[in-house]
Amino acid sequence: MKKTIKDYDLSGKKVIIRCDFNVPIENGIIKDESRLKASLKTIRYARKNNAKVILLSHLGRVQMEEDKQKYTLKPVAERLGNLLRKKVKFIAQTRGEELENAINTMKDRDVILIENTRFEDLDGKKESGNDKELGKYWASLGDIFINDAFGTIHRSHASNLGIASNLPNGIGFLVETEIKKLQKLTHKPKKPYTIILGGAKVSDKIGVISNLITKADYILIGGGMAFTFLKAAGFNIGSSICEKEKLSFCKEMLDKYQDKLILPIDVITATEMKENVQTHERFINEIEEDEMGLDIGQKTIEVFKQYLDDCKTIFWNGPVGCFEIEEFSNGTKELLNIITSTKAYTLVGGGDTARAAVTFNYQDKISHISTGGGASLAFLEEVSLPALDIIDEK
């Protein structure tokens, strides 16, 4: 068992908490604050226990000087302050005198948010490349390090692995919950266990497919990735998205696991991926040359339903259609309806899948929606998670 924030006496200590404040921001307005809300429990706990709270997080990808304006964490400090009902002091730098002075004059229960850790990437990828000196420097600012950013737990960054290597450490409540919920799928999942896999590309999900196929009873394949599988199975997929270099992988998987991998039998097609376009419902041997498959069809939904109805465990990653466009959102909506009508333990992972669940208002009916996309997949694949592996055991 990993040490958690509860295993430390925080009183009077400078506690560095790595949060996941990677939220969509447009013109200074936060478009989805669920990640901020998810961080509150750990921050409140630290304050209640009289810690001096130092927060850090990344936001977006910072590749050029101009990205700084777009990806400043300043709006997060303001909104977080409202949510906490306590001023969050924003320090517009990732290192230096202003930051050090602010920390040295903190009182117990004060909260400071440091600027986007990825601003350090402009200088030789110091954050993302886990620059040793940077991790040491950030660690020198505090007494205890708590990692509560699940979304980056599979990454080796200075702000997670780097700091943790230099301070007594533990995980926060958000990471602890994620682990508990995801372990229901890695530690003897209740059977039948079915996985729904969709999304645009097979290449994003190779690890999941080859790893989870041995653990689950069935994998239902939808989304863009279904078409590489369908082509590998010998169908004409028209102009649907297809990854040629993954055809042999798909063929191999289909040969080996023909009873476990379930492909669509009909799809919704159109000649363009846009609103108000003319759509057709086609059996998969009827797709025309200039058409692409953009959602699963009604018959496929019925087939998938049969695999889902009696399940005890369901994991879903990747929308089964271009759900962002009304015309191609039906499959994803219907499957959300089906899985939330079962008695199964339902876990949804992946940024877009989570967004679909929230957009179509199923978030309260799903057992757990993981806050991490790639991180939840890496966890289920049971590959190493550097920023978690480094955390001290109890």
Active-site residue set: 35, 201, 351, 374
Single residue of 7, 78, 143, 324 touching ligand ADP by CB under 6 A? 324
204 binds Mg ion (CB under 5 A): no
**Interatomic CA distance for residues 348 and 329, integer angstroms:** 17
223 binds ligand ADP (CB under 6 A): yes
Q: Which among 93, 86, 92 is positioned nearest to 107, based on CA atoms?
A: 86
Q: Which among 221, 88, 170, 157 is positioned nearest to 375, based on CA atoms?
A: 157
297 binds ligand ADP (CB under 6 A): no
Residue 281, strand partner residues:
268
Question: Listing from the earlier edge strand, what are the strands of the sheet with 14-18?
Answer: 88-91, 111-114, 52-56, 14-18, 144-147, 169-171
Contact positions with ligand ADP (CB under 6 A) in 266-295? 293-294
Q: How far is the CB of 273 from ligand ADP (least distance, A)?
A: 7
Token pair, residue 298, equals 């009604």
Single residue of 75, 129, 351, 386 touching ligand ADP by CB under 6 A? 351
Q: How far is CA 119 from CA 51, 91, 165, in A?
A: 26, 13, 21
| Contact (Cβ atoms closer than 8 angstroms) between residue 166 and residue 190 | no
352 binds Mg ion (CB under 5 A): yes
Single residue of 168, 351, 374, 386 touching Mg ion by CB under 5 A? 351
Single residue of 54, 322, 369, 380 touching ligand ADP by CB under 6 A? 322
224 binds ligand ADP (CB under 6 A): yes
Partner from ligand ADP, Mg ion, none binding residue 67, C-beta < 5-8 Å depending on class: none
**Interatomic CA distance for residues 161 and 389, integer angstroms:** 9
| Of residues 207 and 351, the one with the C-beta less far from Mg ion | 351
200 binds ligand ADP (CB under 6 A): yes
**Interatomic CA distance for residues 383 and 377, integer angstroms:** 9
From residue 13 to residue 52, what is the string marking binding to ligand ADP with x (rule CB under 6 A)? ----------------------------------------
Q: What angle do CA 48, 52, 55 make, to 5 degrees?
A: 100
| Contact (Cβ atoms closer than 8 angstroms) between residue 189 and residue 164 | no
| Of residues 15 and 153, the one with the C-beta less far from Mg ion | 153
Q: How far is the CB of 349 from ligand ADP (least distance, A)?
A: 7
Residue 282, classed as helix, strand or coil, is strand
Segment contacting Mg ion by CB under 5 A, of 32-40, 138-146, 155-163, 351-359:
351-359
241 binds ligand ADP (CB under 6 A): yes
User: Any idea which residue has 């080859």 for tokens?
Assistant: 210
Residues that bind Mg ion (CB under 5 A): 351-352
Residues that bind ligand ADP (CB under 6 A): 198-200, 204, 223-224, 241, 293-294, 317-319, 321-322, 324, 350-353, 373
